[in-house]
Structure 1
Amino acid sequence: MQMNDSQRIEAPRQKVWEALNDPDVLKASIPGCEELVKHSDTEMEAKVKLKVGPVKATFGGKVTLNDLDPPNGYTIEGEGSGGVAGFARGGAKIRLEEDGPDATILNYEVDAKVGGKLAQLGARLIDSTSKRLAGEFFAAFAEQVAPTEPAEHATEEINAEAPEQKKGWLGGLFGGKKADPAAEEPAA
């Protein structure tokens, strides 16, 4: 399986580089990651629980970082075993490019092989699951590196602009202001 893509992250390149080497950020970003231990600057060990189609397994594996070129990128190689579910082995080339002073383009090229029950699932399922997991990783990674403004804060600002209206979705559902019963009575 091969996959390549790029993601824009709203953070300077140095900050993205540091996050790519921070086990806490990576653990929070990797879907299903239960454990990530950094043994050295170039070696990590992970335990990840995944479901691929009907196959559900916990994978244990080792990851090695090669060709380190701070803060421009590196090559990551790894292999993991999920017992009877099978194995996965592969690598990725990660390249970081500045996109102005406050954003980074993260380019990646992945080449991976799977075996065992995973290989029996078929290339289409493996590819679609890999793309979904990559999307989940990058969404979580971007949130770790450059958190977005919480939606609650934005809602408070909107409601502060129109205090006479009912707040929240319930107010929108049932209309804005309450009618004044005295105003509806006919004049005598």
Structure 2
Amino acid sequence: MELQDEIRISAPRDVVYRALNDPEVLKECIPGCEELEQHTPEHLSAKVVLKVGPVKAKFAGEVQLDTSNAPDRFTLSGEGKGGAAGFAKGGAEVTLVEDGDETVLTYVAKADVGGKIAQLGSRLIQGTAKKLSGKFFTKFAEVVTEQAEA
């Protein structure tokens, strides 16, 4: 499954980039996030509760960041396990482009799922993934805009 989108954030690129690397901001924005720990600047772990159709599960996962092209572009990859519900793994490439006082954030994400969740069908999974990413980026844009105005 592949998702891609673009969002305009009313904040300079350095503010957006810092927020994308702030565990407290991410925890606030990730739907269902119960715990997010940053072990190193490139390694995070998370616990997230998600509901996909009739299946609700708590996922524990690890995320690795590659910031070698930051702040213009960075990539992340990760894997989460949800016990009997299954697993999800994937990655994303995020690009940040300054446009005046705003930043255009573009992402392309790819994910694979397995287990019970995969049995729900790709249309339901893709719809849920789009909804969750939409919630994340809407909340993220609100939080970052508030930080930039403060």
TM-score of the superposed pair, with normalisation by structure 2? 0.95
Conserved 8 A contact 1:17-1:73: no
TM-score of the superposed pair, with normalisation by structure 1? 0.76
CA distance in 2, matches of 1:140, 1:67: 23
Could you say which residue in structure 2 is the equivalent of 1:71? 71
* Unmatched 5+ stretches in structure 2: none
What is the identity, as a one-letter code, of the residue corresponding to 1:36? Answer: L
* Unmatched 5+ stretches in structure 1: 149-188
Residue 121 (1) aligns with residue 120 (2)? yes
Residue 18 (1) aligns with residue 15 (2)? no
CA distance in 2, matches of 1:20, 1:68: 15
1:1-188 aligned within 5 A: 1-100=1-100, 102-147=101-146
Identity rate, percent = 56
Number of corresponding residues: 147
- For residue 66 of structure 1, report the CA deviation from its aligned partner: 1.3
Misfit runs of 4+, over 6 Å: none
What is the identity, as a one-letter code, of the residue corresponding to 1:9? Answer: I
What is the identity, as a one-letter code, of the residue corresponding to 2:13? Answer: R
Greater relative CO, 1 or 2 (CA 8 Å, sep 6+): 2
The structure in which a higher percent of residues are strand is 2
CA distance in 2, matches of 1:109, 1:68: 18
Conserved 8 A contact 1:48-1:59: yes
RMSD of aligned residue pairs (Cα, Å): 1.1
CA distance in 1, matches of 2:125, 2:79: 16
- For residue 16 of structure 1, report the CA deviation from its aligned partner: 0.2
